[in-house]
């Protein structure tokens, strides 16, 4: 940071400052935890010489705090894989089932937005494909902030909902599925060459909520990368040019991830496991009827408070899977 011209490059300076803040956070939390433990150990030595109920009560209260702080520090230090500290691009796709599945995708969309809000992450909505009846067919958004990918990578997979359908006049129980995909936002310095001849670019009118919210020009952009069949859409920016730039940026990230998976045996193995996930092998079930339960099938961690989970309280599942 003391180098001449450091502040001239805004993107690089922000990256370095974020790294500095991350390291400071780890060091400070470790120091604070060590200080608490050292103080309690000293008090325990005093208790050996003379029993004091007040000191004993204080140590017992500290133990709860120390245990909680240790868990939080452990999870933070588990975010040590490549790209864990980067931002993330999260995609949600509804499964088969029409309105029911699209409503479930929309519920997951809200859940992740609430989680981002609670953790002070910035969200950029890139694309939302609404379903004519209710809910969404798919959505894509960026999550900007330290460790966003490290946390959200644990959400990648198929999510299953069981409930009494509000769209069924006979009030029958329905099972719905939606898939979640997460990729990191890679460094801008990555050189991914995209041949214009490999791209099929379509423009269309952005969807809106009616009235003045409906876009009157063909500003939304859909880019298909023909060699890999990767499709990226963006309709949230103000102009077609901005939407195209953002879509190309996401495509670049996806192509870089694809290249990494080809070259890196560890990532290839991980991709193989994820590729096996389909609508018969969900990572988590959200059951609202005949009983209330959210269960993660990878770790067997569960809670009966479904509404709290759907309101963004998913840290228990993220931290348990990181430990796994």
Asked if the structure places residue 278 within a domain, the reply is no
**Model confidence at 271: pLDDT above 50:** no
Claim to verify: residue 157 and residue 303 sit in the same structural domain = yes
Question: 175-227 pLDDT, tens per residue?
Answer: 999 999 999 987 665 567 889 999 999 998 877 554 444 455 778 999 999 99
User: Quick count: other Cβ atoms within 10 Å of Cβ 132?
Assistant: 9
> Last residue of some domain: 78, 97, 112?
78
Domain that holds residue 250: 196-263
Same domain flag for 146 and 26: no
Among the residue ranges 28-32, 254-258, 312-316, the one predicted with the least confidence is 254-258
Domain annotation covers residue 273: no
In a domain, 1, yes or no: no
CATH number reported for the structural domain that contains residue 119 in this entry: 3.30.70.1660
Same domain, 308 and 172: yes
Can you give the pLDDT at residue 171?
82
In-domain check, residue 288: yes
Mean pLDDT, residues 32-57: 92
Same domain, 74 and 92: no
Beta bridge partners of 89: 142, 183
Q: In this structure, is residue 40 part of a structural domain?
A: yes
- What CATH number has the domain bearing residue 239? 3.30.160.20
Burial bucket for residue 34 (CB in 10 Å: 0-12, 13-18, 19+): exposed
Q: What percent of the chain has pLDDT over 70?
A: 90
Q: Is residue 54 part of a domain?
A: yes
pTM above 0.85, yes or no: no
Q: Domains in the chain: how many in total?
A: 3
Average pLDDT over residues 167-175: 87
How many CB atoms sit inside 10 A of residue 319's CB? Answer: 20
Whether residues 134 and 175 share a domain: the answer is yes
E strand spans, 100-198 = 122-130, 136-144, 157-164, 173-184
Same domain, 109 and 159: yes
pLDDT in tens, 132-148: 888 999 999 999 988 99
Query: Mean pLDDT over all residues of the chain?
Result: 88
pLDDT: which is higher, 272 or 252 = 252
Domain boundary among 25, 47, 78: 78
Rounded average pLDDT over 283-301? 96
């Amino acid at each position: 940071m003391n180098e001449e011209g450091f502040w001239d490059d805004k993107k690089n300076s922000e990256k370095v400052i974020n790294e500095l803040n991350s390291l400071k956070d780890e060091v400070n939390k470790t120091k604070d935890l060590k200080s608490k433990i050292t103080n309690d150990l000293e008090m325990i030595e005093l208790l050996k010489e003379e029993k004091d109920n007040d000191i004993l009560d204080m140590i017992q209260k500290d133990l709860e705090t120390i245990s909680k702080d240790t868990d939080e520090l452990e999870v933070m230090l588990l975010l040590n894989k490549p790209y864990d500290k980067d931002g993330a691009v999260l995609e949600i796709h509804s499964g088969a089932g029409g309105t029911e599945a699209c409503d479930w995708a929309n519920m997951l969309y809200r859940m992740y937005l609430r989680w981002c809000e609670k953790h002070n992450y910035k969200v950029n909505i890139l694309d939302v494909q609404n379903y004519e009846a209710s809910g969404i067919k798919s959505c894509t958004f960026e999550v900007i902030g330290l460790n966003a990918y490290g946390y959200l990578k644990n959400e990648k997979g198929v999510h299953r909902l069981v409930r009494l359908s509000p769209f069924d006049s006979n009030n029958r129980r329905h099972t719905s599925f939606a898939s979640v995909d997460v990729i990191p936002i890679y460094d801008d310095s990555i050189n991914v060459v995209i041949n214009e001849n490999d791209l099929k670019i379509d423009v269309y009118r952005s969807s809106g909520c009616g009235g003045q919210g409906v876009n009157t020009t063909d500003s939304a952009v859909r880019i298909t990368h023909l060699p890999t069949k990767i499709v990226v859409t963006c309709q949230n920016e103000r102009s077609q040019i901005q939407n195209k730039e953002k879509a190309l940026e996401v495509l670049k990230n996806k192509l870089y991830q694809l290249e990494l998976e080809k070259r890196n045996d560890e990532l290839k193995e991980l991709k193989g496991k994820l590729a096996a996930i389909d609508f018969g092998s969900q990572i988590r079930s959200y059951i609202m009827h005949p009983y209330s339960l959210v269960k993660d099938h990878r770790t067997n961690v569960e809670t009966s408070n479904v509404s709290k989970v759907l309101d963004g309280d998913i840290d228990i599942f993220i931290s348990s899977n990181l430990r796994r």
